[in-house]
Amino acid sequence: MNTYTAAQTRYDAMQYRYAGQSGLKLPVLSLGLWHNFGDGVDDAVCRQMIGTAFDQGITHFDLANNYGPPAGSAETRFGKMLCDQFGSYRDEMLISTKAGYYMWPGPYGEWGSRKYLISSCDASLKRMGLEYVDIFYHHRPDPNTPLEETMGALAQLVRQGKALYVGISNYHRTDALKAMALLKEMGCPCVLNQVRYSMLDRWVEDDHLLDGMKGEAGTICFSPLAQGLLSNRYLDGSIPPDSRASKSYFLKPETITKERVELLNGLNAIARERGQNLSEMAISWLLVDKRVTSVLIGASSAEQLKVNLKAVENKSDFTNKELSEIDALCKRWK
């Protein structure tokens, strides 16, 4: 077992923002363990990613019960690493997990019943070897379970000491506001809504979600690079054999059209004038809105993580001209 000692400078450069009206601060960049943390990944690579992230002030590590693959393996791997190497820093870490998507067979293995959420949280804690998580999310709205039951289960987890805070994920404005109001009545305010948001995917703006939440809960954005499209991997129009478009059902090869490649190169030209690459600019663009508490980044290596960290290095300001040019280009994305 290799020992780990965190860098003494780990809090020098990272910025932190409050989650809504709570006292909880998140780093503006958080590490998501959705991909690249399952059974097929090398332990050494994963350990290096966690250590590199924490050394740079990324204190928040985001998981879910079904992350892997296979489902549950990301929590198991993270828990083992926490026990073996990073456990002495647990109080400096913000660990979140979720439940809502399919996890096991039968009527109690997904969605938003009290039965499923309580059972899933217990299983997640067991896999990670934890007494509590810092944030527990409901992962998606359930159209067939009363919202009062789902939010009541989240509040129960806080009362039981299994979670310190609760949040929601993939909730649009109407359901989000109802969920937030219920949790507030229960004395367990919602601190975060985790949503998909990027320059190319702006349903959050169309839904007026951030306006509706009025800062009562924070927003944490996943898929800031639009499944990798907002990187330099597709600028020449080809699909690298190890890219997400070549092996993931979330990003299909037919997405990479000539017109879209031209659009991505237009965005890249703006980024280069700013002294950034495309992925850095995409992350910086999200952080312009102070209502965005944090941006979730994924990485397959410590080197890739370091590239994304450059997005917080004095590049948060955009001119009105830059923002207008970005908006004009992104409106062409269909």
How far out from the chain centre does Cα 156 lie? 24
Tracing tokens 């944090």 back to the chain, one arrives at 294
Q: What is the pLDDT, as a whole number, of residue 245?
A: 47
Residue 289: what pLDDT?
95
- pTM (2 decimals)? 0.94
What does the block give as tokens for 249? 């059902």
Q: Dihedral angle at the C-alpha atoms of 256, 262, 264, 267, nearest 10 degrees?
A: -170
In angstroms, the CA 86 to CA 200 distance is 36
Q: How confident is the model at residue 199, as a pLDDT? A: 96
Instruction: Report which DSSP code applies to 91.
Output: G
Q: What is the pLDDT of residue 189?
A: 97
User: What is the pLDDT at residue 70?
Assistant: 96
Tokens standing for residue 57? 């002030």
Query: Whose structure tokens read 């039951």?
Result: 149
The CA distance from 134 to 90, in Å, is: 10
Per-residue confidence (pLDDT) for residue 333, from 0 to 100: 83
- Comparing C-alpha atoms, which of 209, 148, 157 is closest to residue 181? 148
- List the CATH code of the domain at 16-229+280-315: 3.20.20.100
Please answer whether residues 95 and 134 qualify as being in contact, where contact means their C-beta atoms are separated by less than 8 angstroms.
Answer: yes
List Cβ neighbours of 56 (8 Å cut-off, separation of 6 or more): 7, 10, 13, 14, 305, 306, 309
pLDDT along the chain (334 residues), means of 10: 88 96 98 92 94 98 97 97 96 98 97 98 98 98 98 98 98 98 98 98 97 97 94 81 53 80 96 94 95 95 90 81 96 81
Residue in the structure block whose two tokens are 């002495």: 88
Alpha-carbon gap, residue 292 to 29, rounded angstroms: 11
